[in-house]
Amino acid sequence: MVMNQQSSSISRIRTLGRRACKRWRNERGFTLIEVIVSIALVLVAGLAAAQFTITAIHTSHAQQQRAAAVNIANGSLEQAEALLGSNKPQDYAQTLVKGVKESESKAAWKAVSDLGAVSADDMDLFYQSDSTSDTGGVTVKRTAQPEESRSGTFTVYTVLGKCYRKQGTAACKSASALGLPTGGLRSGSADVSSQVWSNTDMPIAPFNNGTVKYIPMLRVMVAVTWPDVGGSTKTCVYATSRLIDPNEDKAI
């Protein structure tokens, strides 16, 4: 009888010990591995949130820079058109080209061509010789830093050119892109071939290549460049242009 009581007591003690041990294990907290994993998850979430914030800021800044470039380009086109004033259409070309030197024009064209903003098919360059003392035409290269742009300086290229529009079509292209010959282009009784292919002169009236009529146009191309806000060496560019008709209306 005594042995049974002792055995029963020992069993109860063991059961209590197991329960106490179980309670102790349940209350022991996180292991080191669990803590490390938790910290890692928090860090990953934090880095993802930081990356998202940085990307959002970069995108917003890039959009702001592009909007500023668009405003600058449109303003430059308006300034060029304002130079025409009350001049007659046949005087538009000589008004805009005053002071536009060959070397400056070619350098500006190369800069924007290298960025892929323009094509040789778009127009033939129109300029004066480097020895010219004329002033008052479009400014080929300048810098701008508008108030709406938080940082950075924009470089503004304004290139003057001429192109030809085949009657009945909308596209205006260079003489070479249209495949025009170097002779036999006639406006009335005059041969204007040399004017068509010249970079310092242009016809100011429609001309014919056989039975096909072409309309000469002035093209004012503005390209605005600025450094990428991402800190890379990439150069961003926005380019636009406007056609000016030296035959009739100012702008088409």
Q: Which of 120, 125, 216 is nearest to 176 (CA)?
A: 120
Domain boundaries of the chain, sorted by first residue: 50-244
Mean pLDDT of 17-46: 65
Give the pLDDT band of residue 252 (cuts 50, 70, 90). Answer: very low
Task: Report pLDDT for 37.
Answer: 75
Mean pLDDT of 1-9: 50
Residue spans of alpha helices (H) in the chain: 2-26, 32-82, 92-96, 102-114, 175-178, 193-197
- Cα–Cα distance, 218 to 250 (Å, whole number): 10
Q: Please provide the average confidence, as pLDDT, over all residues in the chain.
A: 84
Task: Report pLDDT for 52.
Answer: 59
Task: Choose between 250 and 48: higher pLDDT.
Answer: 48
Interval 94-115: pLDDT, tens: 999 999 999 999 999 999 999 9
Give the pLDDT band of residue 130 (cuts 50, 70, 90). Answer: very high
- Cα–Cα distance, 252 to 249 (Å, whole number): 7
Looking at the DSSP bridge assignments, the partners of residue 239 are: 223
Task: Report pLDDT for 2.
Answer: 47
Task: Report pLDDT for 148.
Answer: 59
Interval 189-236: pLDDT, tens: 999 999 999 999 999 999 999 999 999 999 999 999 998 876 667 899
Task: Report pLDDT for 234.
Answer: 87
Its pTM surpasses 0.85: no
Percent of the chain with pLDDT over 90: 63
Give the pLDDT band of residue 9 (cuts 50, 70, 90). Answer: low
Task: Report pLDDT for 4.
Answer: 52
Mean pLDDT of 150-158: 85
Task: Report pLDDT for 18.
Answer: 53
Task: Report pLDDT for 38.
Answer: 75
Q: Which of 168, 252, 182 is nearest to 217 (CA)?
A: 252
Determine which of 13-22, 129-138, 197-206 has the lowest per-residue pLDDT on average: 13-22
Give the pLDDT band of residue 39 (cuts 50, 70, 90). Answer: confident
Task: Choose between 55 and 160: higher pLDDT.
Answer: 160
Percent of the chain with pLDDT over 70: 78
Phi, psi of 187 (to 5 degrees): -115, 100
